[in-house]
Amino acid sequence: MGSPAMARLFTACGWVAAGFLVLILLLIVLQVSGRLFGFATPGITHYAGYCMAASSFFGLGYALHENTHIRVTLFLNLSPRLRYGLELWCHLIGTGLAAYFCFYACKATWWSWKFHDISQGQDATPLWIPQLVMCCGTFVLLLALAERLYLLLAGRYPLNAVPASEA
C-alpha cells in the first residue's frame, strides 16, 4: 500500500514497543526480587511508567499501519462516496491533531531539556529523556497518518480493506 521504507519504520517501532513491554516485565521481576531478597530498588516504578509510555507511543504508528486501531465502521458501509468523504475528514482531522500533539510534545521536551527539569522521584531522571520517546512516537504517528492521507488523496488507499479487528 505505502512506501516499503515507511513500512519498515512502522515495523521497527512495533518491535521497539514490544521491547519496552519486555523491559516492564524485567523491571517488575527485579522489584519483586528486591522485596523477596531484601535489596532496594529505588525508582523502578518510575522507570516502569516510562517504559509503558514508550511502549504506548511507539505502538501508535505501528498499530495504525497494521489497521489494528479501533474503528467504528457503521457509517463507512453506507456508500462509496460517503465513505471517501468520511475517510478524508477523519484523516485530515487525525493528521492535524497528530501534528499539533507532535509539535507541543517536542516543545515540552525542549523546555524540559533547557531548564534541566528532573523527575520528582528518588532517581531524579532528567525528564527530557522519557519525553523524547513521546516526541518520536507522535512523529511516527504523524508520518503514518500523513502517508494514509496522501494515499487517500492519490486514490491508492484501499477503501474496501477490512480492518484486522474485523477479519
Residue 162 pLDDT: 47
Structural domain boundaries enclosing 79? 4-153
SS3 letters across 44-86: HHHHHHHHHHHHHHHHHHHHHHCCCCCCCCCHHHCCHHHHHHH
Task: Tell me if 64 sits within 8 A of 111, measured CB to CB.
Answer: no
**Residue 60, domain member (yes or no):** yes
Instruction: Report pLDDT for 125.
Output: 87
Greater confidence (26 vs 83) lies with: 26
What pLDDT, on the 0 to 100 scale, is given for residue 159? Answer: 63
9-47 pLDDT per residue, tens? 999 999 999 999 999 999 999 999 998 998 888 888 889
Domain membership of residue 50 (yes or no) is yes
Tell me, yes or no, whether 166 lies in a domain.
no
C-alpha separations of 124 from 33, 42, 47, 108, 129 in Å: 23, 11, 11, 18, 11
- What is the pLDDT averaged over residues 73-92? 83
Is 93 within a domain? Answer: yes
* 160 found inside a domain: no
Q: Which residue has the cell 524540559?
A: 112
Q: CA-to-CA distance for 27 and 41, rounded, in angstroms?
A: 9
> How many structural domains is the chain composed of?
1
Per-residue pLDDT reduced to its tens digit, 51-61: 999 999 999 99
**Residues 111-162 pLDDT 10s:** 999 999 998 877 788 999 999 999 999 999 999 999 999 999 998 877 655 4
> What is the model's pTM?
0.85
Positive or negative, the CA dihedral 144, 147, 153, 159 is: negative
pLDDT on residue 124 = 83
For residue 34, being part of any structural domain is answered with yes
- Which residue has better confidence, 70 or 145? 145
pLDDT at residue number 123? 79
Find the farthest-apart pair of alpha carbons in the chain and give their distance in angstroms, rounded: 65
| Confidence class for position 167, pLDDT limits 50, 70, 90 | very low
Nearest C-alpha neighbor of 58 from the set 132, 148, 116, 110: 132
- Predicted confidence (pLDDT) at residue 50 exceeds the cutoff of 80: yes
